[in-house]
A and B are shown apart, each in its own frame.
Chain A
Amino acid sequence: MNLFKKPKSEEDILIEGCIAGKREMQRLLYEMYSKKMMAVCLRYAPTTFEAEDIMQDAFVKVFSHLQNFKKDCPLEFWIRKIMVNTALKHLRSKQLLTVSHEADEVANLPSDNVNLSDYSMDELLGMIQSLAPRYRMVFNLYAIEGYNHKEIGEMLGISEGTSKSQYSRARAILQSMLTRHEKNYNEHVISS
């Protein structure tokens, strides 16, 4: 029925090629999104090696389930979601999502008035990676991915209240790190 035939976009052609198992198309898709997705994985994994493991599994899933992509959202959103879910699964399998008792240092919460422009990407990433796995998860999902606490609770198998309390602890730890970092920096400047 010609009435319903429409010209295909480049993304459609790329997706169809990937579904058909054309390796060059899959490589193209990988190269399009690998850098962004690596950054996502790094935020969830404690090390670069684990981040690459997560990304490897996630991309295999992407290519295996691409025929289920309904194009009801941008492809990047869909791939990112697979990355996040794979990271959660990975950490869950390693039992890293248990709550630790490390948040004793958040007694004196600094002000919310922070500016991250002075921090490099590696420094920020290092701060996030230094959080306990559960706090890191909740912080990533809430602050960066934009999920709400109800959704996070469902994803991690915890209550909404637990998600909120863990997030506030993670936030406090990060603020504390930022303050300490700023203080050290100031002392370093003064002494020099």
Chain B
Amino acid sequence: MKIIRLGQGFFLSTFREFGSSFWILIFPLILYMIMCSIFGHFDEGNMGIRLGVVYEDKLGGPGKIIEMVLSEISGKNGPFEKTEYATREEGLEALKKDTIDVLFVVPKKTSIHMLRAMLGGGKGGLPPASLLIFYVEGRTASRIGANIIENIMDSINLEATRRRGGFYRSFNVAMEPIRKKEAMDFDFRYYFFPGVMLTAIISTSVFSFPIGFLEMRKNGLTRRLLATPITPLQFFWGYVFGMFMMVGLSIIGLYALAYFVYGVKQHIWEFKFIAMILYSIFTLFSLGLMLSAFARKQGTTVAISNIANYILMFLGGLYFPVFQVPFTLKIIVYSLPSTYLVEGFRKFFGYDIAGLSWVSIFGVPAIWATVSLVIFSLRFKKVMGYE
């Protein structure tokens, strides 16, 4: 009960202080809006849809029409960037790996079917040619690409029917969705969401813990609280609880903005996503506690907190990919917990930029948390005590 009471006090006091509230609650929202405004429309000019094509049949005769049309709509002439694959399996693999957005398969005997369709008319004989379009369910670019191809193929059918005066048997176009749950279009609203959320957690952690504890020790609040019947451990948990409420409120605000204003709706309600948020809070709070173990002077502490904040944010890749930096910086990038946490979140959205394994995504922050908590525990009396 005392921990809850302490937590409420710390939360309310921090919440009402404009400086703290701004950085923890308001700044992440502004940052997210700015990021989405700047980068949210970057892909509008780039209409390139990556088209994979598999010719299982060597096209000839009327079948050549398909090949010619595909060439026309690819490259400089159209919205597609065409890549040919030798087999259907290769093409499907590329689709699953997001190397292409849509896969168009020309099955065996397509040429002969089309020739018959031209010559034999609309009735009897061989069944009509059947072309296949594979796309990824849930991915807008893939769906759009598939629809465009389907429309183009329909246009060929219509044109052929018109030219043949109805004496033509249309080929079929089958749309085949494949499921790749994690896959999503690259979308800055999603890309920035975990980055900004981690910014809020980092701000709370690297500033509120070291500076907060130091200030309370210097201004006498620690002494005043320890004069009441509470233990230093209750005081500690009370403060952590208060800051947890603060960061929780910040995340709720960010969720509301992202969900209602920017339409970020997929994956963010999944249990594993929310568990990842809690894991991030645990890891980054531990880091903040470690910093507080070394906090002695106000000026130095503020400087260290700022440096830690910027390193964790920018070299952790919260806003921009950082895996192409020079080797020396890469060492820092790969040793920061924020790098792994943000990649973990983005993996849920299907953005596997660095190809980090789940073991490293959880392992590296866990090492940081363990080391931080050990250091903090050793210095607990100095941080939380009065004498």
Q: Do A and B bind each other?
A: no
Q: Which residues of A contact B (CB under 8 A)?
A: none
Q: Which residues of B contact A (CB under 8 A)?
A: none
